[in-house]
Amino acid sequence: MTTPNHHVALRAELLLGRRKLNTRFHNLPPRTLKRGELMVTATSSADVIYYLSAGWACQFREFAASDQAIVDVYLPGDVIGLDAVWWPLPSEKVMSLTSVVVEVVIEAKHALFDLMTCRSTALYIAWLLGERQRRTNRHVAAISSLDASGRVATMLLDFHRRLSRSELITSSMYNLPLTQTQIAAYLGLTAAHVNRVLRSFRQERIATLENYCLTIFDLERLTRLAEDDSITSLGEGLFDEPTTRIVSLMK
């Protein structure tokens, strides 16, 4: 049914939508924020959509006082606020992790009507939301089924892949502006244990994180850690039928 032509047409339409969205803020002055500032607070209504031109940011949720979970990390080129525009009060906040330059895509909720009137823009926005969802799904799977070293490895590789895709990452080395406390809040661990995992990575010559700069030594082993390494030997289950093995969640 779906011929390659449709893929091409969809891709072209998405690119057009991105261009149209970008024209919205090319005449507006960008905003700059210092490290640690809140972008989408509970006070100001959340009807703002930002384009993150430079710097990192994170979206987090406060459970009780002094206990926060980082839900997502935004890198340069990401769009912030798409998931929160629809609701009057955001349940999460967005904070800059570094100095940050943002462009305002829309400022008030009624601008959504203009935005979604254009088909290519609407397609592009849905595409952005879908991509974000996919990223979060990977994160959920990693957090819920990998141990600490697997989670750290997944995070390091995810940042690396996203940076490589958009910016020019020369080699296996990039700037990672998260404190270990923030990494812990992102991965569902404690800062102490993140530190231990990083130390083991350093000792095993897999990767090292010094002064907020990550260097990957052994990409292959890092990738293996990020996948599920709980299966080291497969000798015992050799006589299982393939059906029970493949869909073991049921039947």
Q: What residues line the site for DNA (CB under 7 A)?
A: 147-149, 179-181, 184, 188-193, 195-196, 198-199, 210, 212, 230, 244, 250-251
Residue 103 sits in the site that holds its own copies (CB under 8 A)? no
H helix runs in the chain, sequence order: 4-23, 111-117, 119-145, 148-166, 180-187, 191-203, 219-226, 242-246
- Please, are residues 99 and 33 in contact by the beta-carbon 8 Å criterion? yes
Residue closer to its own copies by CB (options 86, 167) is 86
Q: Whole-angstrom Cα distance, residue 240 to residue 117?
A: 55
Residue closer to DNA by CB (options 27, 66) is 66
Pick out residues in 190-209 that bind its own copies (CB under 8 A): none
Residue 147 sits in the site that holds its own copies (CB under 8 A)? no
Residue closer to its own copies by CB (options 127, 217) is 127
Residue 122: which of DNA, its own copies, none does it interact with, CB under 5 to 8 A by kind? Answer: its own copies
- Please, are residues 25 and 51 in contact by the beta-carbon 8 Å criterion? yes
Burial class (CB in 10 A: 0-12, 13-18, 19+), 183: buried
Pick out residues in 67-86 that bind its own copies (CB under 8 A): 67-72, 82-86
Joined together, the tokens standing for residue 210 give 């010094």
Residue closer to its own copies by CB (options 141, 205) is 141
